[in-house]
Each structure stands twice: as C-alpha cells, then as structure tokens.
Structure 1
Amino acid sequence: MSRSKAAAVLLAAAVLLGGCSRQAGSQQNEMILEETLEAPEKANYKTAVVERGNFTKEVAGSGSVVYPVQAELRWTEGSVRFDEFYVTSGTEVSKGDVLARFTTEENQVALEEKQLALERAQRDFTLGKQQRQDQIKQAEAALNGLSSYEARIQALNIQKLQSQYDQYVYQTEYSLAAQQEEIQKLQSQISETVLVAPFDGIVDSVVSFNQGDKVDQSQVLVTMYASDRLLISAEDAEGAYRYNMPVTVQIGNNDEVETYTGRVISASNILPAALKQGQALIELDGKLDPALAKRKVAVTGNDVDLHNVLLVNRSAIKKDESRRYVYVLDGETVKKRYVVEGENNMSTTWILDGLTEGQTLILD
C-alpha cells in the first residue's frame, strides 16, 4: 500500500471515530501520535538506529586576556613637579620598585630656610660660648689680689657664670638638635618623593610628561597589573557558558598557537540580572606566558554534555507544522512517529520522548 493510500485510510477512520467523546479526543491529543504505513516491497531506505550515548553541543567564540588585580597609580602627597620615569609600558617590576621620581618645591624651600637658620644658630652658639668662657676667665683672673672675703664673693660669681654657661650650652644644643631633626625629616620627605610599585606585576601604561611639569593629584600616572594571576574573558551574550564548565583556550596568531585548558569561574547563569555583562571568566589550568597576553584568543567548550541519552541522526527528524516526527521502519511497516526532541548539534538530535533504543529510522 502506498503512503497516500494509507493516509486516506487514516482519514476515513478519523471520520468514523468522530462521534467519540471530547474527553477521549483530549486524551488522544496528549499522547505521542503514530501513523502506520505499509513499506514498499523493494524499498531501498537509508536508515539509522536509535542508540544510547553521550551528547555534546559545542560553544565557541573569541576572548581576551584580563588581569583581575590592577592599579591606577597617582601622586597624592602634596604638590610636586615631575622629574623622571624609571619604567615604560611592558616593564616587569617587583613590589617597592621605584616607578617615578618627583621634586617638591615647598619642601625644598622649607629645607633651605631651615638649613640657613641652623647655620646661623650654630654660629651664634659658637660666639655665645666664647663670650661666656671669656667672662669666666676674666672673673678667675680678678681673684688675684682680693681679700679673703672679696675672693669668696668672686668665687661665687665664677660659679654663677659657670652655671649660666652650662645652662646656655645645654639649652642651645637641645635647640640645635631639634632643628637638625626637622631638617632630616624634610630631607627624608624629599628623598621619598617617588612612586613605587604596590605589588609584583607588569606596567601597562605610563603618562607622557616633560621634566618640571606640575603633577595633578587626580591624574593617573602609571597603570599596572599583577602578573601572578590572569583570566580569560569570553564573549557570552547568549549565556552559553556554565559555571565550572571545562573549556579549551587557544592563544596565538596564525601558526603560532598555544593551547590551554581551563574552567569557567564566572558566568551569566549564576549572576544577578544587574551584574550580567555578557561575558564569562575563565581560569587557565596552566600559567600563560605574558608575551601571549595581547594575541588572538579563541575559546571552545561543551554547552551541553549529557551521558546515556537517546540519540538519533539529525536528518531523521522531519517537521510537521510545529511538531517533529520520524519514520520508524518496523519490518515491512513504516510508522510515522511524533517525537519530543531536546537539543541538536551538527549531526545528532537528543530525543526526550517518542522513541526507544534499537528502533530503525528512515533518513530519506
């Protein structure tokens, strides 16, 4: 019997069954429908068998290298003028390395003023000591020829002069030491007018400056990133990447390509709507050579990864309005069987309902 005749038989049967209750019709619509056709005696079908197996669906896209730990370095310790940079873009630095040096005009002027004041105070101190020592010597010389009573009075005067001298020396030396300490603090501040690296890393960019230019406290002078950790950012506008999904990352240009494995550590499907940015972050299993950081990045992974599910050749699936169906070859009989499909990849369809393992399907 041909397929057209079989369809006519089915139509007639449907007319005869038209008196069935609405409830029975409703139940029938909920079932997986099947039509039976008689296969031609000498048909030469191309077929495939329904099997159980593993189903994967690949997602692929471009990406880029990103560094989660970054720093924008500014000078915020007062008004300074630029002196010199010690790094350029791409320079590897260690924590504490000097990146740039500046001069502080206010501190330099204050330092010179205090140094001059100290010099004057030291000269005055030398002169003051000499004058007081001369007074003591003159008083001691005046002892000669004095009576016993006058000598005792003069001795007391000498002791008083000596005490005044000692007090003058003590107080002046204390004052000079305080001035010297202030000078040392200013010198330390001037010597520490440098920008240093906050961590081990690589300099990304350096602002352009001429020596003597005034530095604005809001201006970013150096940008750098920590070199001990990097991530791959993959475009994920459709949310195809899953958290903890294994991926393969290829980095390089033309024939010079390095292949890495990694896992998704941040994906849109686990983030609140307000934080979704259409990107997935991937952590590599191995360490990436920093020289490859700015080269082309390609990411692939399995968006769907199922095990022991029903699989059919994708070309066996036909479309009837909004439903899907297959032709099942059962001996000399062909059955049109409606199915519920899951996911598709390039060659295979995952079947949720309507078929059993081992059935033979017609592909053409």
Structure 2
Amino acid sequence: MSRINLIRPAALLLTAILAFSVITPAAGADSGFRPDDEDLYFSALNEEIKEDVKTIEVTRGDFTVMSSCKGEIEYDRVSYVFNNLEEGSVRYVKMLVSSGDWVHKGDRLVQVSTTVETADLEALRTQIEVEEQNLEEFMAVNRELMDKYTRIIATSSSANERRMAELLYDRLVAGFEDEYKARTKSIEQKVSDLDKLENSDGTLYITAESEGEVREINRYRNGDTLRSWAYICTICDTRTFRIRVSGGVSGLYYNMPVMVTQAQSKGAASIEGRVTTCKSSVLAPNLIGNTDYIEILGDMDTFEYGSDVTVSYRSVDMKDVLIVNKSAVYHDSKGDYVYVYTNGNSIKRYVQTGGNNASVVWIVNGLAEGDRVVIK
C-alpha cells in the first residue's frame, strides 16, 4: 500500500474526531442551553424564529370579575289571615274562597258561627272604656307638655334652653301622632267587634285585610272550634316579587345592580335588579334576618315562582387600570411573571397582579402601558 493510501484513512478519522468534539461538549462543560432558564432560551432564538413570536400590548381598560350566588323568589307583599275574633266560642262553618282566587281588602274569606256569653260582651265593653279613658289622659298630658315647651320657646332668655325645648317639642309631636293613631285604631277595632257581636245572629265572617291571591289554605271541618288566632290562609300580592338571599353575601352592597337568571325547560330567563337590603346594612330588618333582598326592575311574568334563581354581580369592578391578555401571564413559586419583548429579545419579569377573569389579568405593578409581552 502506498504512503498516500495510508494517510487518507488517518485524515478521515481525524476529521471525524474533531467534528464530534465540536458537537459534544466535554463532561462537566456547560451545554449552552438550560431548559430551566427560559430567558436565555428566548434570547437565543434565531432571527427567523423571533419573527414568529406572538406579542400583545399592555393597555388600559376596565377590569371586572363576575360572581354569583343562589337566591329564592318570594312575594314582596304577603299577609297572613288568622281567626281574629277573640270573643266567644268560634266554630268553623265553611271557606268562601279557593286557592288561587283574587280577593280585595274586606272580602269575606271564612264563615263562622259564634256563641257569645253576656260576660264576654261586658268584658269587651270594659276594655273599650278603659282604652278611651287612657287615650284622654294621654292627650291631656301631651297637651300640657306642648304648652310648657311652647312657653319656654317664647319667653326663655337662654338660647340653649330654647333650643332644648324646641327639640323636645318636635320629638313629642312626632311620637304623639304615631301613638294617637295606634290607640285610636285599637279602640275602633274593638267597637267594630262589639257591634258585630251585639247585632249578629251568631254568623260572622273573617275578612281579608289586603289585596292579593289566596294561597296555602288551612283546612277545617264544619263545626271545628277555632282557637284564638288560628291560621286560616295566606294572601300574596303576586304582582310584585323580590329575591331573597338567605344568610347574605358579603359581596353585595346597597343599591348594587345585579342580574337575576332562572334556568327553565324552555331556556334561561333573565332580568335586572338592585339590592335593597344587604348583609352589611345597618337597617333593622336585615339585622333581624341577616338576609339580602333584591328588588326586581321589570316584569317577572316569565319567571317561575318557587324555583331557585342565580344572582350575578360584579365582585370586582375597576376602571382605567392596566390589563393584559390572560395567556401572557405565567406563574411559578415566586409569583406571576411575563416575558417583556424588547428589541427582539424576551426578558422574564415578575409582576404584581390584582386578579384575573376569563380573558384578562389586572396588572397592579411591574408593567407600563404600551409594553409588549409574549403570549402563549
């Protein structure tokens, strides 16, 4: 074999060894690519790949997060009918209305028969006399106090004394009117009951005290004795509804707009509403029941009474804040971060976020309007 033929295989072998040493780094040497370092990965992209990187601009806009809770439909005005005939033995005769009937105030609901002893009539007359006497004494005392405060206001040389007299006078007048109406109403009711008992042949009627639809009738048999204040039925004004959220929701506040939705077989029905009483309110009705009430703004004919509804509301509603597409924000053990795209390079940057919804993230700190970030 010639010398040339010996050199050629050796040269080929040396070339292969050199090529392999360039491609494969020595043990312990840095490979130049660390999968866990995404910053270097992005910055090492060649120009052709960089042109394919998708970016989006950080903008200002409104950020909203919608939350929801369960609610129940109930009638806004409901009255309960009881046996309010307190004198004598009251026996049930018959119901004069049926469930679903529409009644007006004063309409007869139940026919009853009564047996009244003379002693019962005398007791009722005595109650009326006592209440009338108490009313006269109440009016006399209040007139005396009003005259006293009026004299102080007109003659006192002390400004503080006159001011105090004015406050006491105003408070007395306000309280007097309410108390006078309540006492007068009680007397009138007892006088009416007495007239019925004295002029009746034993047949009396329990009447409606409000307008509405008759519901939930309590059934009795002819001849049953009705105890005092025995339940008869419920009258619901079905023309007005409200939504009740039992237990209350901390995210609801007074006068807050909401959307009420009900799932039905024919599809979802929706209507707007507003919160009239909320868990955080100091209003007495809410402190008792700890319940949120929502007034419905519109016609609820399409809603089915007795079925639950969903109340949707804005738990977060920020105006003119930095927002970015949700696909641009990543997360690791250190927090939320984005890749800011500048001059063809992508730099990892941690940001402070205020929340996210289905499409965007609210950026509190770490980015500026106009920044471009890489999206997935």
Shorter-chain TM-score tier: 0.5 to 0.7
Distance apart, 1:99 and its partner CA: 1.3
Equivalent residue, structure 2, for 1:64: 72
Q: 1:266 and 2:277 equivalent?
A: yes
1:109-129 C-alpha deviation (Å, 9 max, x unpaired): x99xxxxxxxxxxxxxxxxxx
Gaps of 5+ in 2: 1-30, 122-193
Q: Write the distance in 2 (CA, Å) between the matches of 1:106 and 1:45.
A: 95
**Quick one: which of 46, 62, 68 aligns to 2:54?**
46
Contact residue 246 and residue 292 of structure 2 kept, 8 A: yes
Q: Distance in 2 between matches of 1:184 and 1:5?
A: 95
Summarize the Cα distance change of 1:185–1:87 in structure 2 as closer, same or farther, 3 Å threshold: closer
TM-score normalized by the length of structure 2 = 0.60
Matched letter for residue 104 of structure 1? T
CA contact (8 A) 1:2 1:37 kept: no
Aligned to 1:157: none
Tell me what 2:264 maps to. Answer: 253
Task: Give the direction of change, closer, same or farther, for the CA distance of 1:221–1:291 in structure 2 (3 Å limit).
Answer: farther
TM-aligned CA distance change 1:360 to 1:95, over 3 Å: same
Instruction: Identify the residue that residue 349 of structure 1 maps to in structure 2.
Output: 361
- CA shift, 1:73, in A, is 2.1
Deviation at 1:63, TM superposition (A): 2.3
Task: For residues 24-66 of structure 1, give each alpha carbon's deviation from its aligned partner in whole angstroms, at most 9, with x where no partner exists.
Answer: xxxxxxxxxxx99735232332332211112221223432211
Unaligned runs of 5+ in 1: 11-34, 112-181
Structure 1 residue aligned with 2:101: 91
- Residue 330 of structure 2 is matched in structure 1 by 318
Aligned-partner Cα distance in 1 for 2:236–2:262? 20
1:81-136 deviation per Cα after TM superposition (whole angstroms, max 9, x unaligned) = 1011122333221111111111113369x99xxxxxxxxxxxxxxxxxxxxxxxxx
Q: Conserved in 2, the CA contact under 8 Å of 1:94 and 1:197?
A: yes
Q: Indicate the residue corresponding to 1:186 in structure 2.
A: 198
Cα–Cα, structure 1 residues 354 and 291, in superposed 2: closer, same or farther, change >3 Å? Answer: closer
- How far residue 341 of structure 1 moved from its aligned partner, in angstroms, is 0.8
Instruction: State the distance in 1 between where 2:207 and 2:293 align.
Output: 30
Partners in 2 of 1:183 and 1:268 — Cα distance?
A: 47
How many residues align structurally? 267
Spell out, residue by residue over 1:152-182, the C-alpha distance to the aligned partner (whole angstroms, 9 max, x if none): xxxxxxxxxxxxxxxxxxxxxxxxxxxxxx9
Distance 1:6 1:69, change over 3 A: closer
8 Å contact 2:249–2:292 — kept in the other structure?
A: no
Letter of the 2:357 counterpart: N
User: Displacement of 1:185 after TM fit?
Assistant: 5.5
Distance across 1 between alignment mates of 2:44 and 2:290:
51
> In the alignment, what sits opposite 1:104?
114
Quote the Cα distance in structure 2 between the aligned partners of 1:37 and 1:183. 96
Checking the alignment, whether the CA contact within 8 Å between 1:48 and 1:313 is kept in structure 2 is yes
1:232-251: CA deviations, max 9, x gaps?
12467652333322222234
Identity of aligned pairs, percent?
28
Q: Distance in 2 between matches of 1:183 and 1:260?
A: 50
Q: What's 1:335 paired with?
A: 347
Alignment map for 1:125-136 (pairs within 5 Å): none
The alignment status of 1:302 with 2:314, answered yes or no, reads yes
Deviates more, 1:200-209 or 1:258-267: 258-267
Task: From the superposition, tell whether residues 5 and 292 of structure 1 become closer, same or farther in structure 2 (CA, over 3 Å).
Answer: closer
What is the CA–CA distance in structure 2 between the aligned matches of 1:347 and 1:88, rounded to whole Å? 54
RMSD: 3.7
Closer/same/farther in 2, CA of residues 290 and 105 from structure 1, 3 Å limit: farther
Structure-1-length-normalised TM-score: 0.62
Deviations, residues 6-37 of structure 1 (Å, cap 9, x unaligned)? 969x9xxxxxxxxxxxxxxxxxxxxxxxx997
Q: Distance in 1 between matches of 2:335 and 2:278?
A: 33
Distance 1:313 1:97 in 2: 64
Once the two structures are superposed, what CA deviation does each residue of 1:263-302 show, in whole Å capped at 9, x if it has no partner? Answer: 1222224359x94967532111123339832345333232
Q: Aligned partners of 1:291, 1:91: CA distance in 2, in Å?
A: 20
Indicate whether 1:215 and 2:226 are aligned.
Answer: yes
Give the deviation of 1:5 after TM superposition.
Answer: 9.7
Equivalent AA in structure 1 for residue 61 of structure 2 = G
Flag the 1:3–1:92 CA change in 2: closer, same or farther, 3 A. Answer: farther
Cα drift, residue 219 of structure 1? 2.6
